[in-house]
């Protein structure tokens, strides 16, 4: 399908890596790439107003069809003029299909070739989602980029189980494509295949033959080792079209953004920067700092003296430490402003380095000074978060 007001313009690629800079043209503005999308699952980036998100420089956000379907309901948002108007956001929006949230419900859902029957994590009521409904809901919401319904297997599922999920994802992608009616939304397909290279290749080859306007890489960053995430990303990107945007779903730590860009990714999203902000973890160019630590209780300087965000321009680390000690809501807001500003600034610097031909040296310099979270700790935290999330649902 020809998509008016939608295109991807590749501006520059790196001769010594797969990193690339471009522009994503949408009905709600041009989005420079590579780009990171903050997650606003329920139509809001947690703790921030739309104006605050704009002031940070964010050009596109992600919203979640599953959550918006359950509350306040797709028909409510449609009656209010669509998601842009409902959440007072006049820049670009990407909505996911809700597939990942449903598949993470484990015992609360039943999957067949037709679609998914699931129970709400809110009140236990029963609902169904098919590829056709996923498109119908997202067309009603009116996002600029919408996603095909896919089946997302667990990172440790067997080859046979992952292969079945991949085949179903392919069938659902074709059905999504057939029923799309709106010509002002770009529908992206999602490559699956788990941690099996041959399945990743098979999925990429099949979906690219359908000529979608963009492609996402799903089913990664779900608890597998980071080296596996990067290997599967590299395996998949090699088979995706050069002239179409590539979206790595669910990745948001600074070191992973750099590694993803180096492998040719254009779009990222993750709740990580906002989630850890509410837990007192703030990004700096040296790594994460926990503002709850006593070392910050009398620190007159901002937590990151090199940062020009509202939080660091205005408040001392001691004040943020005090807010978190008292569980004041302002602390969560200020930490979120800082983390999103840090990530947005990082993406801006990455893009600049690609354009001036210094990406590899920028990447090496950043990774030499940035201390990432220990891999074992990261996997443990990820599993705890997934477990607590599933229990709450």
Position 184 in a domain: yes
Q: Are residues 194 and 293 in the same domain?
A: no
Of the residues 253, 271, 289, the one at which a domain ends = 271
CATH code assigned at 43: 3.20.20.105
Are residues 202 and 64 part of one domain?
Answer: yes
Instruction: Judge if 127 and 244 occupy the same domain.
Output: yes
Q: What is the predicted pLDDT for the residue at 391? A: 45
The whole-number pLDDT of residue 99 equals: 83
Q: Which residues contact 25 (CB under 8 A, 6 or more apart)?
A: 5, 6, 7, 8, 9, 31
- Tell me, yes or no, whether 318 and 202 share the same domain: no
**170: burial class by Cβ within 10 Å (0-12, 13-18, 19+)?**
buried
Residue of 55, 96, 150, 266 with catalytic role? 96
What length does the chain have? 393
Given 271, 286, 309, which residue is the final one in a domain? 271
In this structure, is residue 178 part of a structural domain? yes
- Average pLDDT per block of 10 residues along the chain, 393 residues long: 77 95 98 98 98 98 97 98 98 94 81 94 93 98 98 95 97 98 98 98 98 97 95 98 98 98 98 98 97 98 96 98 98 98 98 98 98 76 56 46
Instruction: Let me know whether 328 and 264 are in one domain.
Output: no
The answer to whether residue 83 is domain-embedded is yes
Give how many domains the chain has, as a whole number.
2
The verdict on 288 and 217 lying in the same domain is no
Residues 302 and 161 in one domain: no
Per-residue pLDDT at 39: 98
Range of the domain at 308: 277-375
- Cβ atoms of 36 and 257 within 8 Å: the answer is yes
In this structure, are 22 and 162 located in the same domain? yes
pLDDT at 386: 55
Active site residue 364: no
Query: Does 304 participate in catalysis according to the annotation?
Result: no
Helices (H), the chain: 50-56, 65-70, 74-79, 83-86, 99-103, 131-141, 159-179, 197-208, 226-237, 254-262, 272-278, 310-314, 317-325, 329-355, 359-369, 375-392
Would you call the peptide bond into 34 cis, given omega within 30 degrees of 0 as the criterion? Answer: yes
Q: Does residue 227 lie within any of the structural domains?
A: yes
**The predicted structure's pLDDT at residue 393:** 46
pTM: 0.95
260 and 330 share a domain? no
Catalytic residue, candidates 144, 150, 266, 269 = 269
Q: Does 300 lie in the same domain as 266?
A: no
- Residue 251, φ and ψ in degrees, nearest 5: -120, 130
- Flag whether 391 is in a domain: no
Same domain, yes or no, for 98 and 172?
yes
Q: Same structural domain for residues 149 and 282?
A: no
In a domain, 196, yes or no: yes
> Among 220, 238, 271, where does a domain finish?
271
In a domain, 47, yes or no: yes
The answer to whether residue 380 sits within a structural domain is no
């Amino acid at each position: 399908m020809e998509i008016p007001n939608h295109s991807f313009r590749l501006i520059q690629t790196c001769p010594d890596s797969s990193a690339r800079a471009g522009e994503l043209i949408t009905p709600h503005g041009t989005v420079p790439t590579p780009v990171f999308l903050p997650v606003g699952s329920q139509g809001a980036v947690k703790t921030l107003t739309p104006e605050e998100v704009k002031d940070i420089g964010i050009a596109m956000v992600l919203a979640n069809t599953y959550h918006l379907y359950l509350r306040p309901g797709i028909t409510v948002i449609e009656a209010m003029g669509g998601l842009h108007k409902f959440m007072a956001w006049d820049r670009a929006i990407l909505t996911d299909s809700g597939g990942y949230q449903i598949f993470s419900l484990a015992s609360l859902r039943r999957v067949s070739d037709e679609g998914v029957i699931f129970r709400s994590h809110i009140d236990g009521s029963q609902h169904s989602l098919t590829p056709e409904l996923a498109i119908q809901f997202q067309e009603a919401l009116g996002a600029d980029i919408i996603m095909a319904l896919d089946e997302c297997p667990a990172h440790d599922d067997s080859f046979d189980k992952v292969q079945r999920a991949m085949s179903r994802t392919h069938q659902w992608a074709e059905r999504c494509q057939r029923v799309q009616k709106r010509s002002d939304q770009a529908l992206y397909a999602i490559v699956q295949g788990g941690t099996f290279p041959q399945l990743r290749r098979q999925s990429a080859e099949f979906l690219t033959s359908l000529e979608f306007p963009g492609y996402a890489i799903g089913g990664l960053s779900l608890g597998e080792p980071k080296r596996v995430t990067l290997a599967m990303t590299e395996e998949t990107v090699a088979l995706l079209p050069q002239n179409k945007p590539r979206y790595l779903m669910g990745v948001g730590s600074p070191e992973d953004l750099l590694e993803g860009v180096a492998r040719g990714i254009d779009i990222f999203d993750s709740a990580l920067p906002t989630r850890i902000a509410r837990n007192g973890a703030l990004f700096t160019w040296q790594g994460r700092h926990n503002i709850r630590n006593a070392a910050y209780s009398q620190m007159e300087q901002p937590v990151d003296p090199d940062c020009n965000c509202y939080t660091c321009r205005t408040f001392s680390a001691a004040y943020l430490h005090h807010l978190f000690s008292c569980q004041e809501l302002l602390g969560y807001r200020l930490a979120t402003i800082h983390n999103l500003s840090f990530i947005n600034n990082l993406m801006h610097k990455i893009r600049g380095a690609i354009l001036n031909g210094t990406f590899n040296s920028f990447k090496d310099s950043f990774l030499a000074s940035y201390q990432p979270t220990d891999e074992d700790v990261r996997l443990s935290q990820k599993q705890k978060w997934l477990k607590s999330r599933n229990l709450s649902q």
